[in-house]
Structure 1
């Protein structure tokens, strides 16, 4: 939302008042409170008939300061509120000092300094040691606005016809870039964009997002978390080119500035503030196969899919039943379609005993269709969201007469968990928590009447996924729970995992998905997936195969479509050649299986720190490389593997390697960065480069499925290692076994942790020479 018309004019219909003076600074228990009139005070008479803004700056934790701007403090601060510091708030002793530079508040490594001149509105955020200026609040950067503009202050005695906004404008440095704000599918660098944080079911080709996360990361070594689940409007260098404007409707605006100085350290501190991702089970890293959305299926169809995959040398670890495991017009009533699944418990049991699949997932959403068995019970007992007149809130969008589960009602939560447990009793191991974006804000009344319906719109995703995730944990154990969720807000990273939503079957949509995954990873989400081959439409064989290569190098990998299947033989008429869809899928699934010792250990490390596993933006690993902050067609998998997906049918690709030695995984050819490179690949490879000083542990060739012994018969590949290089060893339950590392004499230490006939290879792993003929070095 823009409040001005260029530099000189106020936007039509707006009245804007700015904090012009710092009239008084008061020390508080946790920091400083600034009384800021909306005009400069030179005499007592100047204090009359004007607004003031209170700016409270507090030490929240080491390296974290909160900034809250308030106009009328008597306005109710209704919930819901983000669940901050879920593991407990670290103790911090605020430090206040005064000098000729002004009044400074320090929270460990981060400080804010207020200019000593009352009439110079200037608040600088910087590292406490003075080495790193971050951002500032300068002249006309904190304010309030009315719409429409009142012509007389008396009119504000009745605010029913006015909207009131609070805004701040933090400075953007020259060359500074901004990233994150959720799973956004547009340009990776947000400078120049207007962004609204409001969950919507808009696909992957618009400015709407399923996952709006009110946190952004700056290339200058800090991040900003906006502490409201309500709608937030941002003008990122798009109202004033040198500022990021944040605005909300209401009487207060609060955000936290988080210092690094590295982006990884910013995310670590952000994870302390909003929560660390849970660890996911090893089996979830394997290949997931769906029935597709609208296609018909029954036990025979499901078995034919899985038997066909096995015949074509691809192991499926998780089979997913999408919407039509329930009858049409009944979603979600938790009742299997008895015509197609007369005995679902027995069917699921047979499926697992066959060895065709390890785990089973089913689709649900928080919407209860009127014609389903669950609706009457839920409506009568008050488990559904209501209108203000007491009616159940319903509409016919998506499902006829659907209502929405009211997760603010403890009894509704209990009932919903009972429904889930009935699925678990039938053998369901994990849940796809779809939807949760279209949550109404008008003419609604939640069970908890203290809540603000507008704030509930985004926050609903947190409650929904929390309920299902914790139900899975209660049934299967803390580290065995996993979702496949579409909607999210800040904090939802605690309930992994999420996928990218409804993308088209085009190379452009694959690139959109890459950008979405990169952005979401910068919001603390460790695990992410997408619909391999695209969801909407019918992918051409070449698109499917390029997407398979990309999708199997994401943390989680799922084949899923809308009106067509994604089993490979339906894509290319069962081409059995080495370059066909089936062999391509088999090869990439086998590669991910071999990478499991690395992926699982890196996933645990990433979750502990609030980092993305894959897709990890290159700038997280190389923050001093300016080019890295603009790379949105490639990513890291953990800290050692660099991936550049291919978007051209020809197989040509251009990519960037940061400074250092990089070894092609497929050929062991070494490239020296920094620099741009071009290659041409067949369908069995892409630019997959291993960073120097890496110990890469690979599972034994030929193993099927993601779960096996990650220290038995492994290959330990050394990539230009030096003293201190290391690799963590985990078993397939996530237990830490120890560390392999390079000692002072250059020898590999910790080999006693390995079992069976392990091998060690120098400067690369044992490659398949056939790749040399399919990779062109352009």
Structure 2
């Protein structure tokens, strides 16, 4: 939201007030409290009338500083509020006549008493500042009030994040409204809005408000990020780096780490698709087709019409189509498959559950009484009120019943179309703030219900989210078109979401809307199987490969088996996402923050910390890829390449630029049928371009999220010194480019590097 008209004027109907000085500063425990009049106090008469802003600085975690700006403090806070994991970190507070400061870990906030200025430092390095009409209290002629902050951007500083956004990857120049919408992947709307950004200078900013936060990212003041909220208070947190990875580690420590998805979820998912016709016979024909063609499959997904039309949700299998759901689920499990089903948080009027939910107060209500209802999507539907503990327990009981039937995962669709005017929530929450927060309650309810029945294996496929939603994976990118352009915009959204704290992400292979031509389908298969999670799904058409052409069968088999062979490495990277908050699909700027060429790259990424992936977005197979400094080795065969350099390559449908980072010890397995297997059963560890004096390390994970054993390789000249810790299990070691495979069973060994 913009308030100014150019550099000097304000927009009509706007009355701004800005801090002039820190008239009073005091310490209250671990809080630095400042009182900032909005005009200079030259004499006692200037202390009359207002506004007077109260600014409080504190720290929930080391390296994180909270800033809370308040005008009227008597305004009740109806909620909801983000749950932050920190409490009060140790701080150092200093106050004198000229300056007041608060230091937390490496981060320092410093306030100049007169004239008002708020600056942030990492050690002695300036990060950003609020000065000259940065903080502002705005009153409009219609009586509505806002608070805003404007933090400066340095020359060349770039901004990333703000959720799963399909617009330009670098957010400079964009106006971004944090407001969840069902807008597909081809607009500036987003399913997953997160009021958090990080910058190329090595810090992040989280606006602690689940409501309608408006960002002007170098778009109103071109050297600032301005963010504003309606009301009488604004709270934001500055998060130290200095690297983007360290910012994300602190941010996810604050808002919650991603749960660790079960290993089976990393295999290939196949959906019935949305409006296609299907019953058990159709499903069985798909599964037989996959088996006959030797296409490994891990999860089968039933989309909306597993329930009877007009009755979503009633959580009951349509008896006319699925007369024996328990038997069918058992038969699917007998094939070694897991099963996922679709739900939404709405109860249609025709659902047998509607009357019960309305009677018991489980549905969102209108201000004047009665259930809020709408016809958009399901006729007469109501919205489950997850602020009501009884409604949450009721909804969770249906999920648990499905889990006991044999359902393993839940696709939690929708959650964005939540009315924010003329409605009343059970707990009295502010409807405008609940609009974005609703999917947090929805996804948490379903995730915890699944976890009750399947401890440690709860898995979602969620579309909507906000800050903290990363705790309940997996998320997918929503409704994309069957075009190369939409494939690229999906990747942009996923990379932005990864820079917003989300560890695991997927998308509809082949696109949701439309029937992908063979060239697109095959290229999207490669991209999809080199994503954290991989699902074939569509709207009106099936996504089994033989409906495209026979070559698509070969492509799907090739990349599915590739992913399964990489599971020892991939699941170790999933552990990193779970423990440190780093996404599995990492934007290049996250991995190489000091390489200016990586700053805006959005058509390639690192899968984990060692595999560089550049999907092909053209029918002719031509693709440009950038390789940072070092010797990069193509995983699928070919000559090594020394970076930094740009390359233009042309690949057949069984290839794409897939390079191994120099200094990598890559663990692979031999299981090519399923993703969950014993990764420590004689894995192959391949060493790639380790420099003399360098050290490479590989963790072999266990299926329960532990570490089986760790191997470290240190190079000294032509000798490799190998050390194993943890379980005493044998493994195989080879050096990329050499044929010899060394069997290692001892805890220490030396291996000649060869020629």
TM range (shorter): over 0.9
Report the CA distance shift for 1:620/1:659 in structure 2 as closer, same or farther (over 3 A): same
Deviations 1:91-130 (A, max 9, x none): 52220235797322101110011125x2x22111001x31
Deviation (angstroms), 1:335: 0.9
Deviation string for 1:32-89 (max 9, x for gaps)? 122111112212222223312111111222100001111111111221110110xx53
Counterpart of 1:775? none
* Distance (Å, rounded) in 1 between the aligned partners of 2:154 and 2:534: 38
Q: Is the 8 A contact 1:200 1:210 kept in 2?
A: yes
Residues 407/766 of structure 1: CA separation in 2 closer, same or farther (3 Å cut): farther
TM-superposed deviation, 1:752:
8.9
Please state whether the residue corresponding to 2:695 is helix, strand or coil: coil
Residue 114 of structure 1 pairs with residue 111 of structure 2: yes
- Note the C-alpha offset of 1:751: 8.7
Give 2:684's match in structure 1, choosing from 703, 715, 718: 715
Which residue is 2:723 aligned to?
749
Structure 1 CA distance for aligned equivalents of residues 720 and 609 of structure 2: 22
Closer, same or farther: CA 630–189 of 1 in aligned 2, 3 Å: same
Q: Does 1:448 align with 2:427?
A: yes
Q: Is residue 140 of structure 1 aligned with residue 137 of structure 2?
A: no
Q: State the shift of 1:173 in Å.
A: 0.6
Match of 1:669 among 631, 634, 639: 639
Query: Paired residue for 2:528?
Result: 551
Give the one of 650, 653, 656 matched to 2:626. Answer: 656
1:771 paired residue number: none
Distance 2:370 2:36 in 1: 46
Give 3-state SS (helix, strand or coil) of 1:465's partner. Answer: helix
Q: Distance in 2 between matches of 1:609 and 1:765?
A: 34
Whole-angstrom distance in 2 between the partners of 1:46 and 1:732 = 67
CA contact (8 A) 1:436 1:487 kept: yes
Which residue of the partner structure matches residue 475 of structure 2? 498
Q: Distance in 2 between matches of 1:503 and 1:59?
A: 41
User: Which of 639, 650, 661 is equivalent to 1:680?
Assistant: 650
Give the aligned CA root-mean-square deviation in angstroms.
Answer: 1.6
Residue 764 of structure 1: CA displacement? 5.0
Q: 1:765 to 1:219 in 2, by over 3 A?
A: farther
Q: Does 1:486 align with 2:463?
A: yes
Tell me whether 1:68 sits opposite 2:45 in the alignment: no
Q: Deviations over 1:517-561 (max 9, x none)?
A: 000001111110000000001101100100000010100000000
Q: Is the 8 A contact 2:185 2:490 kept in 1?
A: yes
Q: For the residues of structure 1 that align with 2:626 and 2:33, how far apart are their CA atoms?
A: 47
Contact 1:728 1:736 (C-alpha < 8 Å) held by counterparts: yes
Map Cα deviations across residues 458-514 of structure 1 (whole Å, 9 max, x no partner): 11110000000001111111x211100000000011111100000000000001111
Whole-angstrom distance in 1 between the partners of 2:16 and 2:737: 62
Distance verdict in 2 for CA 1:316–1:453, change over 3 Å: same
- In structure 2, stretches of 5+ residues that fail to align are 741-755
Q: Deviations over 1:191-226 (max 9, x none)?
A: 100000000100001111000011101111100011
- State the secondary structure of the residue aligned to 1:313: coil
Matches of 1:434 and 1:66 in 2, distance apart? 34
Aligned length: 735
Q: Give the match's secondary structure for 1:747.
A: strand
Aligned: 1:604 with 2:575: yes
Corresponding residue of 1:435: 414
Q: Which residue of 1 aligns with 2:485?
A: 508
Answer yes or no: is 1:201 the counterpart of 2:182: yes
Please, which of 275, 283, 286 is the counterpart of residue 267 of structure 2? Answer: 286
**What SS does structure 1 have at the residue aligned with 2:363?**
coil
Say which SS state the counterpart of residue 2 (structure 2) adopts.
Answer: coil
Q: Tell me: CA distance 1:445–1:752, structure 2 relative to 1, closer, same or farther (3 Å).
A: closer
Q: What secondary structure, in the 3-state scheme, does the structure 2 residue paired with 1:73 have?
A: coil
Pick aligned residue for 1:393 from 372, 387, 408: 372
Residue aligning to 1:19 = 19
Correspondence for 1:254 among 235, 246, 256: 235
1:500-649 paired onto structure 2 within 5 Å = 500-572=477-549, 575=550, 580-614=551-585, 616-649=586-619
How far residue 21 of structure 1 moved from its aligned partner, in angstroms, is 2.0
Partner Cα distance (1:112, 1:732) in 2: 44
Does 2:465 correspond to 1:465? Answer: no
SS at match of 1:61: coil
Secondary structure at 1:462 match in 2: helix
Query: Matched residue of 1:600: which SS?
Result: helix
Moved over 3 A (4+): 98-101, 751-756, 764-767
TM-score, scaled relative to structure 2: 0.95
Residue 152 of structure 1: aligned partner: none
Whether contact under 8 Å (1:505, 1:535) holds in the other structure is yes
> 1:699 pairs with 669, 673, 684, which one?
669
